Structure 1
Amino acid sequence: MIAEFGHFALILAFAVSVFQMTVPMIGAARGWQGWMDSARPAAMVQFLLVAISFIALTISFVTSDFSLKLVYENSHTAKPMLYKITGVWGNHEGSMLLWVLILALFGAAAAVFGDNLPPTLRARVLAVQASIGAAFFAFIIFTSNPFLRLVTPPFDGRDLNPLLQDPGLAFHPPFLYLGYVGLSMAFSFAVAALIEGRVDAAWARWVRPWTLAAWLFLTVGIALGSWWAYYELGWGGFWFWDPVENASFMPWLLSAALLHSAIVVEKREALKSWTILLAIMAFGFSMIGTFIVRSGVITSVHSFANDPARGVFILGILAFFTGGALVLYSLRASSMTAKGVFSPVSREGALVLNNLLLAVSAFVVFVGTIWPLVAEFLWDRKLSVGEPFFNKAFTPFMIALALALPIGAIMPWKRAVIARAIRPLRGAAIFALAVMLLVFAVSTGRSSIAVVGAGLGAWLIGGAVAELLHRTGKSGLSRLLRLPRADWGKAIAHSGLGVTFIGIGLLTAWQQEDIRVAQIGQPFELGGYDFTLRQVEEVEGPNYISTLATIDVGRDGDPVASLHPEKRVYPVQAMPTTEAAIDNGVFRDIYVVIGDAQENGGWAVRTYIKPFANWIWAGAILMALGGLVSLSDRRYRVAAGARRSEVKTKAVPAE
């Protein structure tokens, strides 16, 4: 009965979304206040109904209701409770229900916190948001119903994909979806502004917090996915350039560009057309990610479904919203005239360069991701585009971005003199040079990647500190503490990017690896550490059987750690997984993987020494923290001054 109640709530939410996308839009066009005001309660009711539907599905998973087909195919009575809950979104149907739940959540948030928006713009934003919801409600109800019953309920389920039974993957999808779907708000603001025929500083102030929140969640989601791949898959890497990884990375790059572009619209009333285009494309690439994961066109460990019919439906949604928005954009582009004039050598010019580098980087990732499909479709050739291509094509743009960021951030608006602008960065340059020389001295005979990565990271961190000090002037600590939170957030985020650069550069260049057949009791050495395989035993988990090894690690005769790598087999799905054992440290990780038993009585063991590995995810945490600090700035949360800007700015009449 609970499942039927959830299904009914989902259908009602679909009906409410259809009402919300039509009535407020008509009201905004006709100037009918009551019709426009109906958008806010409709958005909140829609969210409530989707929440009821999601809770009903969660209850079905928690209680192991195997009369539901989805529960039967993705759960098991012996599965730990955490994975019974996360099994709700560890599949195609449940993940789409989570998608529309978050979509409705953002719509409800815009309704609650949109008091400062003009009534017509608010009504149109909520109507566009509801139209996206209506499309995905139809997709779920007609092709991906999570509440289908089985005629004869089985006694137990097929279990969840073992790779998804992990804390990292439990929280990775919700954060990623909060980022993906969060970009729908920027899209809705862009389309609403195009319909109204007005893009101004007030609009940029309103759209920035939503974009910042989406970028923040995407940062956390991508970092969690990378961290999971690092310790769960047993291959020792942090990024594989997998198509689904790329599908989340492209919106991240474009949303970062959108954040910086909106600053120029807000401060200088320039780059209006470009900012609108970025808002459309950022969400468009989010839907491309949804298509890749669920269409089956690309094989990936991340894929949820292999159903061409569903893929065609999502492709239709993508074409309708992205294509429709681009058509509207082409009709309105001439009305979005820039007001601010600036020199190429200025903060505006630096932000334009920032946008070009980020956008081209996203395009490079897109080409590398989609090219195998194009080659197969046009020439019937099987191609693989992997790490070598991305390293050569993508890395130069990131190096240029890192070099330009501190200089652009410290430049004055409108017009700047390079020599005067970079003067406050002398200390940062000296710091970066010193770090490069230190790394060069330590890494003689090794790859130059370490020197470049560490130098760029130090330049970004030193530049962020130099900018804060420059903004305080001679006022000292008191002025530093009174700086707006957005300034602090920017400095923290840029520093986080620097920390990630250092981690990637040093890990790539200094990593050490050893693959061998280890005999029990016989030590071996790697990177100054001694490793001894003590024992291998069979243990039984709640829903798996594990081959558990004990490997002692020492250095100079002193014990360092006792590691326990595993090979698990989940009997229900007959699928093995690798559980790496990692001794985490600030400056290095000791990473051990146990393999199969060998004929001579030994065991295959892979051992890594990974310098500065955790700096990669520490940098991501800092970037997300910087976004959170900026988001807490009251100017962005309530769009302070927006009404004043609205009064001063003459609206472009709608055609």
Structure 2
Amino acid sequence: MIVEAGHYALVLAFALSLVLAVVPMWGAAARDPALMAVARPAAFAMLVMVALSYGALTWAYVGSDFSVMNVVQNSHSMKPLAYKISGVWANHEGSMLLWVLILALFAGLVAARGGRMPARLLSNVLAVQGAVAAAFLLFILTTSNPFARVAPAPFEGDGLNPILQDPGLAIHPPLLYLGYVGFSIAFSFAVGALIEGRIDAVWARFVRPWTLTAWCFLTLGIAMGSYWAYYELGWGGWWFWDPVENASLMPWLAGTALLHSTVVMEKRDALKVWTMLLSILAFSLSLIGTFLVRSGVLTSVHSFASDPARGVFILAILVVFIGGALTLFAWRAPVLRQGGVFAPVSREGALVLNNLLLATACATVFVGTLYPLALEAVTGWWSPDNPSKISVGAPFFNATFLPLAFPLMLAIPFGQSLAWKRGDLLGVAQRLAFAIAVGVVVAIVILALTVGGPVLAPVGVGLGVYLILGSATEIATRAWRRGAGLGVMLRRAAGLPRSAWGTALSHAGVGVTVIGIAATAWGVESIVTLQPGQSTRLGDYTVTLEAVTPRNGPDYRETVARLRVTRDGQSLGVLEPGKRVMVGRSMPTSEAGLMTLGLGQVYASVGEIEPNAAGLRLYWKPMVLLIWLGAVVMALGGGLSLLDRRARIGAPAPARAAVPAPAE
């Protein structure tokens, strides 16, 4: 009964989404307050219905209701409760329901915080959000019903994909979806404003907190996915330029550009056309990522679906929403009034440079990801038996992406230190002299100490140090006062807007990540086969295989290699990588062993494993944790900016010009 109620709630949510998509927009066009007033309660009701539906599916998983096909295919009665709950979104149908739940949640939050927004803008924004929700609810109901029954019900389920039975499943997809779907608010704001024909600095003040929220979640989601792949897949890498990884990177790059663009629009009422375009593109790239994962055009560990009907449906959604939004943009863009002017050397100019580099980097990733698919599709059309296939991998992305990333990193401290409207480049360079000097010295010293090693790695570390010190310099400069004591400077620093601290923290986080990436060049790798009692060297460490032992878990069987790690004869701990087979699934998986030593890690994964020997892939990865720590610092900086008074209060209503009194 609960399963049927969840299905009915989903149908009601679809009906409410249609009401939300049509009635408020009609009211905004007719300037009818009664029709526009429908927007907020409809958004709340849609959220409640989707939440009830999602709760019903979760109930089926927790209760191991094997009369539901989705539960049969993705769960098992012996599965731990945590994996039953997170297993709801570990499949195509459940993950799409989570996708729509988050979409409805953002619509509800906009409705709850929309009291200060102009009624027409709020109506149009929620109507666009309702239209997107309607499209995906229809997709779920017609092609991906998570409540489909199976008769007769089997006694036991197939269990969860072994690769997905990991704590990362509980964290990575929700964070990633909060980022993906969060950009739908920027999209809805852009389309709603284009429909109304009114775009100004007040609009930018409203949209920026939502964009920043989505960016923070997407940053954490990408970082968590990177770490999960790093320790779960046993490859020892943190980024593989997998097409689905790229699908999350592209909206992040566009969203980062959008964040900086909205700052210019809010401060100077400029870059309106560009900001509108980025608002559309950020969510459009999220939709493209959804298409790549669920259409079957990719073969990837991330892919959920391979049903062509689903792919065609999502492709139609892309055409309607992306094509419609870009058509509306092309119609309205020529009549958008340009805002304030500024000198090329200014904070606005630096943000424009930031946008150009980020947009170009996004374009290179887009081309490298989609060109092989487009080539295969086009050549397969006229030659079905022999389509052209090419592979675009890390060499292409490294050769195109990194040359754009390097000048972007150099420009970040300059950009945040320049004045608005007209800046003093020489003065900023003088203020950043210490950060520049320390970064150069660090690079030279490391290069001298590692003669014969990688050349670009010391440059990367020096660049990261420069970014961190450059971010700190901005805070120190704003807090400094001639003749003031340390106490006064600390009080001035504490009194700075939280957005200033958040910006500095996010930029410093970029520096931390850059150092972690650069340091991977000094990693050590060893592939060996050991028998119990044998040892091998791994950099400064010695790894000894003590035993190969079988053991059982709550819903799996595994064979582990017990490894002792020592340095200079002193034991540092034990690693236990192994091979695992889940109950209900015959596919074996590798479980890596990790030992954290400071900011670095000893990493071990097994290949062939026998009672008297084990094939091992061993790594020493210095400072590798800085890669993900930097991403966390970036997101914390974004969160701190959200606590700024301007973001919490929202945009003020524009003041009316005073009407002069009539002459007597």
**TM-score range, shorter-chain basis?**
over 0.9
Which residue number corresponds to residue 652 of structure 1?
Answer: none
CA–CA separation in structure 2 for the residues paired with 1:135 and 1:227: 33
The AA in structure 2 aligned to 1:249 is L
Which residue number corresponds to residue 130 of structure 1?
Answer: 130
CA–CA separation in structure 1 for the residues paired with 2:291 and 2:191: 22
Which residue number corresponds to residue 474 of structure 2?
Answer: 467
Alpha-carbon distance, 1:61 to partner: 0.2
Which residue number corresponds to residue 505 of structure 1?
Answer: 518
Alpha-carbon distance, 1:435 to partner: 1.7
Which residue number corresponds to residue 101 of structure 1?
Answer: 101
The match for 1:632 among 624, 640, 643 is: 643
CA–CA separation in structure 1 for the residues paired with 2:170 and 2:557: 21
Question: After the TM superposition, which of the residue ranges 49-58 and 571-580 deviates more from structure 2?
Answer: 571-580
The C-alpha deviation readout for 1:127-152, integer Å capped at 9, x for no partner, is: 11001001111000111110000121
Question: After the TM superposition, which of the residue ranges 476-485 and 563-572 deviates more from structure 2?
Answer: 563-572
Alpha-carbon distance, 1:392 to partner: 0.8
CA–CA separation in structure 2 for the residues paired with 1:89 and 1:519: 41
CA–CA separation in structure 2 for the residues paired with 1:289 and 1:395: 22
The AA in structure 1 aligned to 2:525 is E
CA–CA separation in structure 1 for the residues paired with 2:52 and 2:378: 46
CA–CA separation in structure 1 for the residues paired with 2:69 and 2:149: 6
CA–CA separation in structure 2 for the residues paired with 1:560 and 1:578: 23
CA–CA separation in structure 2 for the residues paired with 1:328 and 1:81: 47
Which residue number corresponds to residue 586 of structure 2?
Answer: 574
SS at match of 2:115: coil
C-alpha contact (below 8 Å) 1:517/1:598 kept by paired residues: no
CA–CA separation in structure 2 for the residues paired with 1:449 and 1:148: 55
The AA in structure 2 aligned to 1:436 is A
SS at match of 1:115: helix
SS at match of 1:605: strand
CA–CA separation in structure 1 for the residues paired with 2:449 and 2:654: 57
Alpha-carbon distance, 1:542 to partner: 1.7
The match for 1:481 among 470, 474, 494 is: 494
Question: After the TM superposition, which of the residue ranges 45-54 and 515-524 deviates more from structure 2?
Answer: 515-524
What TM-score do you get using the length of structure 2 for normalisation? 0.96
The C-alpha deviation readout for 1:154-211, integer Å capped at 9, x for no partner, is: 0000111111100012210011000000000000000011011111100000000000
CA–CA separation in structure 2 for the residues paired with 1:91 and 1:69: 12
CA–CA separation in structure 1 for the residues paired with 2:657 and 2:60: 55
SS at match of 1:382: coil
The AA in structure 2 aligned to 1:517 is T
CA–CA separation in structure 2 for the residues paired with 1:424 and 1:294: 50
Q: Please list, as runs of the form range in 1=range in 2, the aligned pairs for 1:12-411 lying within 5 A after superposition.
A: 12-379=12-379, 380-411=387-418
CA–CA separation in structure 1 for the residues paired with 2:649 and 2:34: 24
1:560 correspondence with 2:572: yes
CA–CA separation in structure 1 for the residues paired with 2:274 and 2:122: 22
Which residue number corresponds to residue 424 of structure 2?
Answer: 417
CA–CA separation in structure 2 for the residues paired with 1:386 and 1:573: 31
Alpha-carbon distance, 1:400 to partner: 1.0
CA–CA separation in structure 2 for the residues paired with 1:522 and 1:21: 68
Q: Please list, as runs of the form range in 1=range in 2, the aligned pairs for 1:614-653 lying within 5 A after superposition.
A: 614-640=625-651, 642-644=652-654, 647=656
Which residue number corresponds to residue 442 of structure 2?
Answer: 435
The match for 1:519 among 490, 508, 531 is: 531
CA–CA separation in structure 2 for the residues paired with 1:571 and 1:106: 38
Note the residue ranges of structure 1 that are not aligned, 5 or more in a row. 650-655
Question: After the TM superposition, which of the residue ranges 483-492 and 590-599 deviates more from structure 2?
Answer: 590-599
Alpha-carbon distance, 1:598 to partner: 6.2
How has the CA–CA distance of structure 1 residues 279 and 537 changed in structure 2, closer, same or farther, with 3 Å as cutoff? same
Alpha-carbon distance, 1:420 to partner: 1.6
The AA in structure 2 aligned to 1:644 is P
C-alpha contact (below 8 Å) 1:449/1:506 kept by paired residues: no
Q: Please list, as runs of the form range in 1=range in 2, the aligned pairs for 1:446-457 lying within 5 A after superposition.
A: 446-457=453-464
Note the residue ranges of structure 2 that are not aligned, 5 or more in a row. 380-386, 482-487, 659-664
Alpha-carbon distance, 1:571 to partner: 4.3
SS at match of 1:247: helix
C-alpha contact (below 8 Å) 1:116/1:638 kept by paired residues: no
C-alpha contact (below 8 Å) 1:75/1:158 kept by paired residues: yes
The AA in structure 1 aligned to 2:431 is P
Question: After the TM superposition, which of the residue ranges 325-334 and 411-420 deviates more from structure 2?
Answer: 411-420
The AA in structure 2 aligned to 1:643 is A
CA–CA separation in structure 1 for the residues paired with 2:657 and 2:235: 58
CA–CA separation in structure 2 for the residues paired with 1:598 and 1:421: 63
Question: After the TM superposition, which of the residue ranges 578-587 and 217-226 deviates more from structure 2?
Answer: 578-587
C-alpha contact (below 8 Å) 1:74/1:91 kept by paired residues: yes
C-alpha contact (below 8 Å) 1:164/1:170 kept by paired residues: no
Which residue number corresponds to residue 653 of structure 1?
Answer: none
CA–CA separation in structure 1 for the residues paired with 2:153 and 2:243: 37
The AA in structure 1 aligned to 2:80 is P
The match for 1:607 among 615, 618, 629 is: 618
Identity %: 54
CA–CA separation in structure 2 for the residues paired with 1:648 and 1:415: 28
What TM-score do you get using the length of structure 1 for normalisation? 0.97
Which residue number corresponds to residue 556 of structure 2?
Answer: 544
Alpha-carbon distance, 1:71 to partner: 0.3
The AA in structure 1 aligned to 2:424 is V
C-alpha contact (below 8 Å) 1:458/1:498 kept by paired residues: yes
Alpha-carbon distance, 1:295 to partner: 0.2
Alpha-carbon distance, 1:577 to partner: 1.1
Alpha-carbon distance, 1:334 to partner: 1.5
SS at match of 1:548: strand
Supply the RMSD in Å over aligned alpha carbons.
1.3
SS at match of 1:88: helix
CA–CA separation in structure 1 for the residues paired with 2:585 and 2:370: 31
C-alpha contact (below 8 Å) 2:548/2:610 kept by paired residues: no
CA–CA separation in structure 1 for the residues paired with 2:122 and 2:430: 45
CA–CA separation in structure 2 for the residues paired with 1:142 and 1:242: 30
SS at match of 1:87: helix
Which residue number corresponds to residue 485 of structure 2?
Answer: none
Question: After the TM superposition, which of the residue ranges 570-579 and 252-261 deviates more from structure 2?
Answer: 570-579
C-alpha contact (below 8 Å) 1:503/1:614 kept by paired residues: yes
Alpha-carbon distance, 1:371 to partner: 1.6
Aligned length: 645
C-alpha contact (below 8 Å) 1:169/1:225 kept by paired residues: no
Which residue number corresponds to residue 484 of structure 2?
Answer: none
CA–CA separation in structure 2 for the residues paired with 1:446 and 1:458: 20
Alpha-carbon distance, 1:648 to partner: 6.3
C-alpha contact (below 8 Å) 1:565/1:579 kept by paired residues: yes
SS at match of 1:297: coil
